[in-house]
């Protein structure tokens, strides 16, 4: 019944609001912009209590779609478990993606303000700000630039994009993350200096896992047979056993705790029950 | 200029990658200007690529193309919600940014219900493995003695670790305390294994960069390095 109702509403929407082109499209868009402006100033007239309620209602309605889609009973249609709302999952996530991507501008604005001020006032490090802007603009421009598929310009654009992406970004990313290995080791030496049995256990496990993944480590127990009880003492077998039989269940148990915590937090946020500096702030 | 770049793209790309790799590794000696230059270049490139991805993968196909090419004007409804986020910088209107933030929070809260089911339901089911050796029967696989012992260890560890993270009320039972204590010991081994794996993953990246510098780049000048 619910499925029929939702289908009818979707069909009515498709009939009443067909896609438009040309002048009609522009008129509709202009009309919507005017409506936004009116709503915008109308919202400002709301009292603080009503504003809080509005935020709570928007939060609830946004979460309600996914909650309903999850909790409503499903039917097997074309080999897939679906309910009345399943077909709206993709458009809804695309809608959310658009809003989330528009939030990216906040990060760009923030970085632009910080580096822009440094650059315009020639503060210490202005050259690094210039570097930041130069590479950001270059990458964004050559990344977005649309070209005819087989033109000479297209080839040039692809080559420059490849230089920036493969030569620049990928190399920098790989190198930047590889130096973390050195930092982790030095930080670990300071933090987990083998002082007690627990720290010793941690270090021993790390040592076995690391040795099990390199040829030099595997060479140490290479003389042991590959079959039978003694094969369990080979370093790569011990490493694998630690990862799959000790590490995996421990991580899974931590994951269960995290999952339940996430679920509880999600429920609190969805129902606007969460408290704290952000949620209690006056509006 | 552009033609020269295009004609020598492969060589330029390699030289750029070498400069980037060495520039970043220079930090291992000490803090220096070359490292800082490449660090900012990295942030700029990453930001530029994020902008590119946002436009090419999301805004262009899902927003611009749908409205202006296909005429599906109702997708413009996403715009005010997105733009309201920018009101966070306004003193007078910043409360409106919370409408959009609330919308995004509500969506992610709703998605959490679905992801919890997708992620953890299967894990809960697969946690209950057979702990008694048995022969293969129908679709059930055979369980050897060592397999059964390993399954028992798997289950025991999950119970011990979950008991360790049980903070809802004070635990006075000796049995529960001992179980939690065992969970703590197991966690130490697990953290050690994670630590070891993380270092090896980073080492793999380091080896990959060295491979690039020595074999790919060095190999173009000294053939036996290839």
For B33, nearest residue in chain A (alpha carbons): A128
Q: Under an 8 A CB cutoff, do A140 and B51 touch?
A: yes
Confidence (pTM): 0.83
Q: Which residues pair with A82 in a beta bridge?
A: A75
pLDDT at A147 over 70: no
Buried b (16+ CB within 10 A) or exposed e, A214-239: eeebbeebeeeeeeeeeeeebbbbbb
Q: Tell me which of A107-121, A144-158, B183-197 is least confident.
A: A144-158
Buried b (16+ CB within 10 A) or exposed e, A253-274: bbebeebeebbeebbebbebeb
Cα of A164 vs its chain's centroid, Å: 24
pLDDT digit of tens for each residue in chain B (226 aa)? Answer: 777 888 888 889 999 999 999 999 999 888 899 999 999 999 999 999 999 999 999 999 999 999 998 888 889 999 999 999 999 888 888 888 989 999 998 999 888 888 888 888 888 888 888 888 888 887 778 888 888 999 999 999 999 999 998 877 788 889 999 999 999 999 999 999 999 999 889 889 999 999 999 998 888 888 887 7
- Region A139-152: mean pLDDT is 80
Angle at A154 between CA A148 and CA A158, to 5 degrees: 135
For A14, nearest residue in chain B (alpha carbons): B72
Cα of B164 vs its chain's centroid, Å: 26
Angle at A101 between CA A95 and CA A105, to 5 degrees: 140
Mean pLDDT (chain A, rounded): 87
The token duo for B2 is 């552009």
Place of tokens 């007239």: A45
pLDDT band at A156; cut points 50, 70, 90: confident
Q: Under an 8 A CB cutoff, do B52 and A177 touch?
A: no
| Cβ neighbour number for residue B209 with a 10 Å cutoff | 22
Q: Which of B27, B71, B124 is nearest residue A19 as measured by Cβ atoms?
A: B71
Distance between CA B84 and CA B104 in Å, rounded? Answer: 12
Cβ neighbours of A143 in B, within 8 Å: 48-49, 51-53, 56
Q: Which of A39, A135, A249 is nearest residue B44 as measured by Cβ atoms?
A: A135
Torsion of CA A9, A12, A17, A19, to 10 degrees: 100
Q: Phi, psi (5° rounding) for residue B134?
A: -155, 160
Coil, strand or helix: which one is B194? Answer: helix
Bin A194: left if φ > 0, else alpha if -120 < ψ < 50, else beta: beta
A134 or A232: which carries more pLDDT confidence? A134
Distance between CA B42 and CA B44 in Å, rounded? Answer: 5
Strand spans (E) along chain A: 75-77, 80-82
Helix (H) and strand (E) counts for chain B? 9, 0
Distance between CA A239 and CA B150 in Å, rounded? Answer: 15
Place of tokens 């749908």: B66
pLDDT band at A192; cut points 50, 70, 90: low
Q: Which of A267, A213, A252 is nearest to A235 (CA)?
A: A213
Q: Which residues pair with A81 in a beta bridge?
A: A76
Give domain limits for chain A: 2-88, 195-270
Q: Under an 8 A CB cutoff, do B24 and A168 touch?
A: no
Cβ neighbours of B71 in A, within 8 Å: 19-21, 25
Q: Under an 8 A CB cutoff, do B161 and A249 touch?
A: yes
The answer to whether B127 and A281 are in contact (CB under 8 A) is no
Which residues 6+ apart lie within 8 Å of A256 measured at CB? B120, B123, B124, B158, B162
Which residues 6+ apart lie within 8 Å of A254 measured at CB? B161, B165, B187
Cβ neighbours of A206 in B, within 8 Å: 192-193, 195-196, 199
Angle at A264 between CA A257 and CA B183, to 5 degrees: 15
pLDDT at A172 over 90: yes
Q: Under an 8 A CB cutoff, do B103 and A262 touch?
A: no
Place of tokens 């005819």: A148
pLDDT band at A148; cut points 50, 70, 90: low
The CA–CA distances, whole Å, from A22 to A25, A65, B61, B71, B187 equal 6, 33, 19, 8, 64
* pLDDT tens-place string over residues A69-98: 888 888 888 788 888 888 888 999 999 999
Q: What is the DSSP letter of A224?
A: S
The answer to whether B55 and A139 are in contact (CB under 8 A) is no
The answer to whether A184 and B199 are in contact (CB under 8 A) is yes
- Region A206-232: mean pLDDT is 88
The answer to whether A111 and B94 are in contact (CB under 8 A) is no
CA of B222 vs chain A CAs: smallest distance (Å): 21
The token duo for A185 is 């080791």
- Give, for B88, the enclosing helix (H) or strand (E): none
Torsion of CA B58, B63, B66, B67, to 10 degrees: -170
Cβ neighbours of A207 in B, within 8 Å: 192, 196
DSSP for B39-69? HHHHHHHHHHHHHHHIIIIIIIIIIIIIIII
Q: Which pLDDT belongs to residue A181? A: 84
Complex ipTM: 0.83
pLDDT at A64 over 70: yes
The answer to whether A178 and B200 are in contact (CB under 8 A) is no
């Amino acid at each position: 019944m619910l499925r029929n109702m939702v289908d009818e509403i979707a069909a009515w929407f498709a009939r009443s609001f067909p896609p438009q082109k040309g002048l009609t499209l522009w008129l509709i868009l202009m009309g919507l912009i005017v409506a936004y402006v009116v709503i915008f100033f109308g919202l400002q007239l709301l009292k603080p209590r009503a504003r809080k309620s509005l935020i709570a209602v928007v939060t609830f309605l946004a979460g309600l779609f996914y909650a309903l889609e999850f909790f409503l009973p499903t039917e097997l249609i074309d080999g897939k478990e679906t309910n009345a709302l399943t077909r709206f999952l993709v458009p809804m996530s695309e809608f959310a993606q658009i809003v989330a991507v528009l939030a990216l501008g906040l990060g760009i604005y923030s970085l632009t303000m910080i580096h822009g001020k440094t650059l315009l006032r020639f503060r210490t490090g202005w050259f690094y700000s210039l570097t930041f802007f130069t590479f950001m603009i270059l990458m964004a421009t050559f990344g977005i630039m649309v070209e005819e598929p087989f033109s000479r310009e297209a080839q040039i654009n692809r080559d420059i994009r490849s230089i920036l992406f493969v030569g620049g970004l990928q190399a920098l990313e790989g190198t930047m993350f590889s130096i973390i290995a050195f930092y982790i080791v030095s930080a670990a030496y300071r933090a987990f200096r083998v002082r007690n049995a627990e720290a010793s256990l941690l270090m021993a496990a790390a040592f076995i896992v690391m040795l099990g993944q390199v040829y030099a480590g595997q060479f140490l127990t290479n003389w042991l047979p590959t079959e039978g009880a003694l094969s369990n003492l080979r370093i790569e077998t011990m490493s694998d056993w630690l990862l799959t039989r000790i590490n995996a269940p421990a991580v899974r148990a931590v994951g269960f705790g995290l999952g339940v915590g996430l679920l509880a937090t999600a429920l609190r946020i969805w129902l606007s029950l969460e408290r704290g500096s952000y949620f209690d702030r006056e509006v | 200029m552009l033609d020269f770049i295009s004609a020598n793209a492969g060589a330029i790309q390699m030289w750029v990658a070498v400069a980037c790799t060495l520039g970043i590794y220079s930090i291992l000696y000490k803090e220096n200007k070359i490292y800082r230059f490449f660090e900012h270049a990295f942030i700029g490139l990453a930001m530029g690529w994020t902008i590119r991805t946002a436009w090419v993968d999301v805004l262009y196909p899902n927003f611009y193309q749908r409205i202006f090419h296909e005429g599906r004007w109702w997708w413009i409804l996403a715009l005010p919600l997105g733009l309201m986020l920018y009101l966070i910088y306004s003193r007078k209107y910043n409360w409106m940014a919370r409408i959009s933030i609330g919308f995004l929070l509500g969506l992610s809260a709703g998605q959490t219900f679905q992801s919890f089911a997708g992620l953890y339901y299967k894990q809960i089911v697969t946690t209950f493995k057979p702990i008694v050796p048995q022969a293969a029967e129908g679709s059930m696989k055979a369980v050897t003695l060592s397999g059964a012992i390993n399954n028992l260890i798997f289950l025991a560890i999950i119970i011990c670790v979950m008991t360790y993270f049980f903070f809802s009320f004070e635990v006075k039972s000796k049995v529960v305390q001992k179980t939690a204590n065992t969970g703590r010991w197991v966690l130490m081994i697990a953290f050690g294994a994670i630590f070891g794996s993380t270092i090896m993953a980073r080492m793999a990246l380091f080896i990959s960069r060295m491979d690039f510098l020595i074999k790919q780049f060095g190999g173009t000048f000294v053939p036996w390095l290839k």
